[in-house]
Structure 1
Amino acid sequence: MLDGYDADSFRGNCEECFGLCCVAPSFSVSPDFAVDKAAGDSCPNLRRDHRCTIHGSLRARGFNGCVAYDCLGAGQKVAQVTFGGRSWREAPDTAERMFETFRVVRQLQQLLFSLVGAMELPQSRPLRPDLAALRDEIDAVTRGSADAIGSTDLPRYRRRVDGLLLRVAGELARAGVSRAITRRGIDLSGVVLAGAYLRGADLTNANLGGTLLAGADLRDADLTNADLTDADLADANLARADVTGADLRRSVRLTQTQLDAAVGDASTAITDPLVRPAHW
């Protein structure tokens, strides 16, 4: 990794957190969650010491969403940096601000993750100064006060990150890595493709933002420059078909959370800062 950033920079450290992912978000009864929980309410499985009482059996208990969830390091930043290591249980008056700060910082960590991942591509070298500058700017925001974080203009940062990622994609195209970046790939954003047979599909440059790909067969699919922003990859098959597994090294906006929810194996190609899930 570059300039001191590695996989640990985006890995949640529960020992340094206050169970923020178990309190701040909301979720509803679904195949991913066995119970309803409102934002700001503690999960019924959260202990007083901020640990999960069923951590070793989340899938069996109907909490697949918890297995797939990844704060990308936002939890320990908010707990230890923004709030100085004092938990919301110790200082109940800070709880609401802490939870809202966590929600913002997690989104900023996602942007940082995309920037750092782009910097790993050899073809991004001409743009690394710009990528590094924006990375450092956003990282500084995540380490600011709760008030400063709360006033962050998230849409503006997303636009700036998107602009740089598009320039990186252009460098990839000029290097011959992808086909015809000037031609937009198929737009499947928001389409329900759960369980779809997409083995060997040409998804080059495809817009898969918000696409439901749960349980889809993506073996041998070409995902070069495919935008996977918020795509649901729960149980999607990325493992080996005939010769090799899915190649995700040049996909755009792929997160660790999505990988953790998918099915892969040793042949599934990924790149830093992503890490191969233990269940693969």
Structure 2
Amino acid sequence: MTLPDSLKADCESCFGLCCVALPFSASADFAIDKDAGKPCPNLDQDFRCGIHRDLRKRGFPGCTVYDCFGAGQKVSQVTFSGRDWRQAPETATQMFAVFPVVRQLHELLWYLTEALTLDPARELHDELRAALDETGRLSRGDADDLLVLDVPAHRQAVNTLLLRTSELVRAGTPRRKNRRGADLIGAKLKGADLRAADLRGAYLIGADLRGADLRLADLIGADLRGTELGGADLTGSIFLTQPQLNAAKGDAATKLSPALTRPAHWSAPDRPRRASR
């Protein structure tokens, strides 16, 4: 799958919206508390992060995990026509409220774009293409329309299509495991055969999936924070997004589909130690 540039974050064309619009609390992911609508103290005047290269060292790993799916530049350059919230402070409140709405729509665009590349679901391609066009149209609406949009209802309609897509793609694989929404926090699943498993919305926080076979597994909405994916095979997994990967722990031996990027903070695979003499 080749993603269009519009679904890839372009921070150069954004007004630092994720650094301002979103709240975060002091935790293992963020070193400080920050309210929604309040600029992060690390945000420079040019809307760049002043500690970008050292985010993890400075206690902000959560920032390295986040991805807006291109919503930041859409809101900055399309919805608000290039007027930033510093030069036009009257736009700030509305801009910050619109950003998470467009982010959700762009996430759906990611899933629908992927679904249209899946040949086993070709009987749904007309419906998927119509949903893609409609979601794109909604994402280009003006701020007033976006703020009254019933996003949950639209997500539900799209999710129904994505679920049907998933069933068609995974239909030919025997012994498919159903772990939808399962509590697998810290689960010991090293080397597990999870081919074509339904892991939609599963809680895999801190789970050990090293060397697991996740080919064709449906991972939409699965929580992969701290999940060990070293050596796991994720090629052909369905609806796996970059933010999910960014939150996990993998290595150079983790197998990924071409549309996904190996996170820079992933470690090299463990090497056997030499016996001491």
TM range (shorter): 0.7 to 0.9
2:241 and 2:260 in contact (8 A); partners too: yes
Between the two proteins, the alignment pairs up a number of residues equal to 265
Q: Distance in 1 between matches of 2:209 and 2:98?
A: 36
Determine whether 1:155 maps to 2:146: no
Q: 2:233 aligns with which of 246, 249, 258?
A: 246
What is the aligned partner in structure 2 of residue 278 from structure 1? 264
Q: Per the alignment, do residues 76 and 6 of structure 1 end up closer, same or farther by CA in structure 2, a change over 3 Å counting? A: same
2:190–2:208 CA contact under 8 A, matched in 1: yes
158, 179, 185: which one pairs with 1:186? Answer: 179
Task: Identify the match of residue 121 of structure 1 among 118, 128, 153.
Answer: 118
Does structure 2 retain, via aligned residues, the 8 Å contact 1:7–1:275? no
Aligned counterpart in structure 1 of residue 214 of structure 2, from 215, 223, 229? 223
**Partner of residue 269, structure 2:** none
1:76 aligns with 2:73: yes
Q: Counterparts of 2:198 and 2:75 in 1: how far apart (Å)?
A: 35
Deviations 1:158-207 (A, max 9, x none): 11211111221232244x1x3366xx713444x3613x321123445344
Give the direction of change, closer, same or farther, for the CA distance of 1:258–1:139 in structure 2 (3 Å limit). same
Are 1:234 and 2:225 an aligned pair? yes
Give the CA RMSD over aligned residues. Answer: 2.2
The answer for unaligned runs of 5 or more in structure 1 is: none
TM-score by length of 1: 0.86
- Is 2:198 the counterpart of 1:201? no
For the pair 1:257 / 2:255, whether they are aligned, the reply is no
Q: Alpha-carbon deviation of 1:208? A: 4.9
Report how far residue 111 of structure 1 moved.
Answer: 0.8
Q: Secondary structure at the match of 1:228?
A: coil
Mean alpha-carbon deviation: is it higher for 142-151 or for 217-226? 217-226
Distance in 2 separating the partners of 1:20 and 1:138: 21
Of structures 1 and 2, the one with the larger relative CO (CA 8 A, separation 6+) is 1
Q: CA deviation at 1:64?
A: 0.4
After alignment, is 138-147 or 204-213 more displaced? 204-213
Unaligned runs of 5+ in 2: 267-277
From 109, 126, 130, the equivalent of 2:127 is: 130
Q: TM-score, normalised by structure 2?
A: 0.87
Q: CA deviation at 1:222?
A: 3.8
Conserved? CA contact 1:206–1:227, under 8 Å: yes
